[in-house]
Amino acid sequence: MHPFDMTGLDRRGVLAVGMAASLLPEAARAAMHTANVPAPTGSIQLWPGDPPGLRDVALTDHSIDRTVPGGPRDRAYDRVRMPRLDLFPATNPNGAAVLITPGGGYARVVIDKEGYELAAWLQARGVSAFVLFYRLPAQGWADPANTPLADAQRAIRLIRARAEAWRIDPARIATIGFSAGGHLCADGCTRFDTRTYAPVDAADAHSARPMLAAPIYPVVSMDPAIAHAGSRTNLLGPAPDAAAMAEHSPDRQVRADTPPCFLVHAEDDATVPVENSLRFRAALKAAGVPVETHLFERGGHGFGLRGAARLPAAAWPELWHRWAAGHGLFDAGRR
């Protein structure tokens, strides 16, 4: 049986899978079949009907192609009305799954270099990967600062709800996020039980806590001294108060049951200061949460997989893989 066989899903789940592909913009559907570009097996919508908190009924999904002639594919969504998971089932599944949250400053969701490329890398190593196209907070939602987190929580719950059909161990679901998606990753591992939406179906009875988390060159702090200004403004607005900044700074939300974390940052990152990762690491250490940290001399920002080629930072995916193995992600008998 194919690991993402729809056997066992209820009728609404099957319809959601079919409708998701048909609702993709034409350019995105065509791009799925472009040669030499990793392509998902399918997509599922996160929510039945419109997502919670929709205010701008004119909002539509919209993707842009930023590919430089002769360069690698570089696409992004700059509007997201219907958040979804794009599916990359493992070639030889070992039971592990990873939810990927690409970056984009909370103004867009990057598709290729921080989404599909890592998903294909994981897929080839026995890990089923899910790329999350989350809603962007500044696009007319009722609770903008918690809207991306609501999508991340819902995504993990859906993966757990369908784990048997997808040959996934519901206890072995990790998260990896980049830049603003790294903020979402860190937010999801520190506020996994924060109520961000009213339950909509049986999937919402599942926990949203990941087993492991890997914020990569993450936006973490909302402190203006080190915050990424664009992400902060898009998430919290132009003049957030002290309470909002504290609530949405994952370094200030760490607690003892935060899952183990793996941090990567380049010292020469001129976009998101390395201090973001250092503050998060300090908070994790203070709470007794296991953390592994890799700081590279060079790499800049946004390197993902492709941008670190020929630099020491290119080692980060294999370092993560070994760390995750040591924490039992690929072996149910190890913790």
Tens of pLDDT, residue by residue over 51-109, are 999 999 999 999 999 999 998 999 999 999 999 999 999 989 999 999 999 999 999 99
| Domains in the chain: boundaries | 11-326
11-326 has which CATH code? Answer: 3.40.50.1820
> What angle do the packed helices 229-236 and 180-190 form, to 10 degrees?
50
Q: Which residues pair with 77 in a beta bridge?
A: 63, 109
Radius of gyration of the chain from its Cα atoms, rounded to whole angstroms: 18
d(CA 319, CA 265): 13
What band does 310 get if pLDDT is binned at 50, 70 and 90? confident
Residue 71 makes CB contacts below 8 A (sequence gap 6+) with none
pLDDT score at 331: 82
Q: What pLDDT score was predicted for residue 84?
A: 98
How far, CA to CA in Å, does 16 sit from each of 69, 87, 166? 36, 13, 16
What is the distance between the alpha carbons of residues 32 and 314, in angstroms, rounded to a whole number?
A: 26
In this prediction, residue 332 carries a pLDDT of 65
CB-CB contact of 41 with 76 (8 Å): no
Residue 30 has pLDDT above 70, yes or no: no
Over the stretch 168-191, which tens digit does the pLDDT of each residue have? Answer: 999 999 999 999 999 999 999 999
Instruction: Look at the chain and count its residues.
Output: 335
9 by DSSP, 3-state: which?
coil
CB atoms under 10 Å from CB of 138, counted, come to 15
C-alpha to C-alpha distance for 103 and 115, rounded to whole angstroms: 9
